[in-house]
Amino acid sequence: MNAQELRQEISRLVGEYSRMTHRANRAGDDSGRSEFIPGQTPVPYAGRVFTEDEVQAAVGSVLDFWLTLGAEGERFERSLAEFLGVRNSLLVNSGSSANLLAISALTSPKLPRDRRLFPGDEVITVAAGFPTTVAPILQCGATAVFIDADPITGNAKCEQLQDAFCKGKTKAVMMAHALGNPFDLRTTLEFCREHQLWLLEDNCDALGCKYTMPSNSDWRQMFPKDPAQGDGSLCKYTGAWGDLSTQSFYPPHHMTLGEGGAVNVVKQSGLKVIVESFRDWGRDCWCPSGKDNTCNKRFGWQLGELPEGYDHKYIYSHLGYNLKPLDIQAAIGLKQLEKLDRFIEARKHNWIRLRRGLSELEDVLEFSLPTHAAGWDPASGFSWDSTGCRTECSWFGFKISVRPTAGFTRTELAKHLDSKLIGNRMLFGGNLLRQPAFVNLRKENPSSIRVVSDLSGSDRIMNEALFIGTYPGLSEEMIDYVITTIVTFCRGK
């Protein structure tokens, strides 16, 4: 048996092993999935969904033993950028690292001075969410300016953006699309264009969401090169509207590389070099690992106070990091990308099944709506506001808020779900300003944080909301069990 035949046999055996041992991780509609036993089989809020394809790809990459980011990484970056419709995607080791790199890139001396983020400058963000959307703002020495969140959509109240603006200080907006629900991109983009601000989209929970601008809006001035739909409107994935966007590929997200994330450079090619530099130790050289002299002048540079001809591979223009993932992860990711469209559709289907199944509980529970939706009906679906904008959600989770008059609390519902092995989570950190780290920071360094409004919506999310799963590993039997459990609990109270 030669090496190629041996490799094929290894792959065959790996596939057989995976089919035997990873049945619980197959998609909810996969006939090869493990049997669901209500009350005994856990119903996670999220998790890895994969088949033998990913395991074989990972083992194949290990056999090649390149390890650090290489050919698989390059293919994944091209494929992700093509899917989103952005100029470049750069793989990193986590979504949190992606957020750090996106903010760090704005501090680069390679940017025009009036657009550059300096210590003490301000970045507008939203109070309710995950802490690593906000932490990089503070870690880079800027001031985080918090606007409130809408307890229905979970997203920023974008009408507060103008109140948060400070001329000469505000440089950027950095917000997440909450739980796979796009924030109001039209209002945000118009605000950023008016004041010449950077827009950074935290798209970690929203891969596959779409946002549509109507034909009667002025989107064409903002996106003159983007093709219109048949009705003249503009529809793009979230993560493709701002200047930079970020992804997470941690197991609960829309697709997984184990750990991993990405920074997407939407249009400006110059930002790619800056993000890549911060990711790769801060070096000025853009040669991929294992390659030299891509610029054809490796010994022809004079930068800083270094001697002319100093090796470009060891010139550093930024105080950077080493935040690359492994090529093995990219090999897994390429297989996940092939399934992404099906994963997205499953999330939409599961959300609707939960919404219909729980519709009788509107007297005690308050349900999420997509941004720009005015209501929902079991027969006709969503109704929309007058803006003409539309959102198509790739739901990360199904958000439920317990009404103050329900007769039970959010925590009581969460504990009951736990007792029935149904995974549930808060909307991450709730009102982040109530978290110990932020309470301490406001005491020790008050100028690092500025707050707009009373944040009552964020407090409501913190006190009343939780979410359950919509991920593609859920079978219809699992979802029906979740519905029955919630209805029984609510009506029993």
Query: Which residues does the annotation mark as catalytic?
Result: 253
User: In sequence order, what DSSP letters do the residues of 321-370 get, joined into one string?
Assistant: -B---BHHHHHHHHHHHHHHHHHHHHHHHHHHHHHHHTGGGTTTEEE---
Token representation of residue 251: 């197991």
CA distance 275 to 301: 21
C-alpha closest to that of 199 among 180, 212, 215, 182? 182
H helices within 358-409, ranges in order?
Answer: none
Residues 6+ apart with CB under 8 A from 257: 249, 325, 329, 330, 332, 333, 336
Q: Which residues contact 373 (CB under 8 A, 6 or more apart)?
A: 382, 383, 384, 385, 391
Strand partners, 127: none
Question: What is the Cβ-side half-sphere exposure of residue 382, based on CA atoms within 13 angstroms?
Answer: 17
Nearest CA-CA partner of 97 in 251, 249, 242: 249
Contact, 397 vs 469, CB < 8 A?
yes
Query: Which segments of 370-444 are extended strands (E)?
Result: 373-377, 381-384, 390-392, 397-402, 424-425
Q: How far is 315 from 364, CA to CA, in rounded Å?
A: 61
Nearest to 344 by CA among 398, 399, 396: 396
Contacts 24+ apart (CB under 8 A), 117-120: 117/142, 117/171, 117/172, 117/198, 118/142, 120/169, 120/447
How far is residue 131's CA from residue 99's CA, in Å, rounded to a whole number? 11
Chain centroid to Cα 493, Å, comes to 36
Locate 247 and state its tokens.
């992804």
Q: Comparing C-alpha atoms, which of 193, 170, 179 is closest to residue 149? A: 179
Q: Specify which residues 213 forms β-bridges with.
A: 234
What DSSP letter does each residue of 165-182 carry, written as one string?
--TTTEEEEEEE-GGG--
Asked if 242 contacts 201 with a C-beta cutoff of 8 angstroms, the reply is: yes
